[in-house]
Amino acid sequence: MNIPPFLTPGDTIAIVSTARKITMDEIEVAVKVISDWGLNVKVGKTVGLENNQYAGYDEDRAIDFQNFLDDTNVKAILCARGGYGTVRMVDSLDFLKFVEDPKWIIGYSDITVLHGHIHANYGIPTLHATMPISFKDFNEDSSTIQSLKRGMFGESLDIDFSSNELNIAGECKGELIGGNLSVLYSLLGSPSDVDSNGKILFLEDLDEYLYHIDRMMINLKRSGKLKNLAGLLLGGMTDMNDNEVPLGKSAEEIVLEHVKEYGFPVAFGFPAGHPPSENVAMIFGKEVKLSISDKCSLQYC
């Protein structure tokens, strides 16, 4: 496994937007905090660009990201925000220099596209973690912000977390993959579709209708993405919506319905997802041990 070097003080990190538009004002808190960690921050040209809801045109976002992929002085790329748009530019990217000289690609939500694409094609670990747009939602000492720092600097991301009455107890080991359920669903059958066999899948989502959650889980099931998992982690299912005639199940109950027959360990309520949920950093593409009982833990191997 070609693991990117962890950062040290004095290294340079780039901030770009691969999806929705964002202003410099919206990331200034993050720039200050990250600078205080001893890192140099380069802000991409896409911060401040605007093309309807996007941070510039697809070509603008691809060029900005590519420039930092190829810049050997940049040791990590932190995506500024999610929204939608990364999938529109991912096929324009050339990862040749990235494979030769890997660096940390960081983000969540719509950035699931990059996590999936890199894992499916290059097998290089990436960091699923909070982004600059969300720094305003958390105290600097929060687990959300501090775990991003620990992840970038190579410190432990092992975590103990609360048990949940819906959990399926057990222990398993496997490579950690996943991200936003809606985005993973949209990548099925594409060059960015990740092999889930023998792996531990993390899922989270935001602002979805419950019947959409059901439809997506059924598709993952019918596509064979669930049956050979080593384990499943479910994070925040934030701001879920229901129809006037209720579906009759929560998002967590929907997920459980579709995975319980397989018997692998399942943990609900893992502290990662969209605000106001905690969003602890995770290294995708790294082997972990998941233990689920009265006490739950995720440990990196």
% of the chain surpassing 90 pLDDT? 99
Give strand pairing partners of 78.
15, 106
CATH number, domain containing residue 104: 3.40.50.10740
% of the chain surpassing 70 pLDDT? 100
Contacts of residue 51, defined as CB under 8 A and 6 or more positions apart, other chains included, come to 21, 57, 60
For residue 2, the model assigns a pLDDT of: 87
Q: Place 277 in a pLDDT band, splitting at 50, 70 and 90.
A: confident
Q: Determine the Cα–Cα distance for residues 108 and 115; give it in Å rounded to an integer.
A: 8
Mean pLDDT of the chain: 97
Count: domains in the chain: 2
Q: Which range marks the domain in which residue 94 is found?
A: 12-153
Q: Please report whether residue 104 resides in a domain.
A: yes
For residue 225, the model assigns a pLDDT of: 98
Q: Please report whether residue 59 resides in a domain.
A: yes
Q: Determine the Cα–Cα distance for residues 40 and 71; give it in Å rounded to an integer.
A: 14
Residues 101, 221 share a domain: no
Q: Taking residues 229-251, what's their average pLDDT?
A: 97
> Has residue 64 got a pLDDT over 80?
yes
Residues 220, 123 share a domain: no
Final residue before a domain boundary, out of 119, 153, 187: 153
Residues 147, 20 share a domain: yes
Q: What is the pLDDT of residues 17-55, one digit of tens each?
A: 999 999 999 999 999 999 999 999 999 999 999 999 999
For residue 48, the model assigns a pLDDT of: 98
Q: Place 1 in a pLDDT band, splitting at 50, 70 and 90.
A: low
Q: Determine the Cα–Cα distance for residues 32 and 55; give it in Å rounded to an integer.
A: 22
> Residues 54, 19: contact at Cβ < 8 Å?
yes
What φ, ψ does residue 174 adopt, rounded to 5°? 175, 170
- What does the DSSP 8-state code read for residue 289? E
Q: What is the pLDDT of residues 152-202, one digit of tens each?
A: 999 999 999 999 999 999 999 999 999 999 999 999 999 999 999 999 999
Q: Determine the Cα–Cα distance for residues 117 and 190; give it in Å rounded to an integer.
A: 9
Which amino acid, residue 97? K
For residue 35, the model assigns a pLDDT of: 98
pTM above 0.75, yes or no: yes
Final residue before a domain boundary, out of 118, 153, 188: 153
What are 162's two structure tokens? 């609360």
Q: Place 78 in a pLDDT band, splitting at 50, 70 and 90.
A: very high
Q: Determine the Cα–Cα distance for residues 30 and 36; give it in Å rounded to an integer.
A: 10
Q: Please report whether residue 3 resides in a domain.
A: no
- What does the DSSP 8-state code read for residue 155? -
Q: Determine the Cα–Cα distance for residues 99 and 70; give it in Å rounded to an integer.
A: 10
Give strand pairing partners of 40.
12
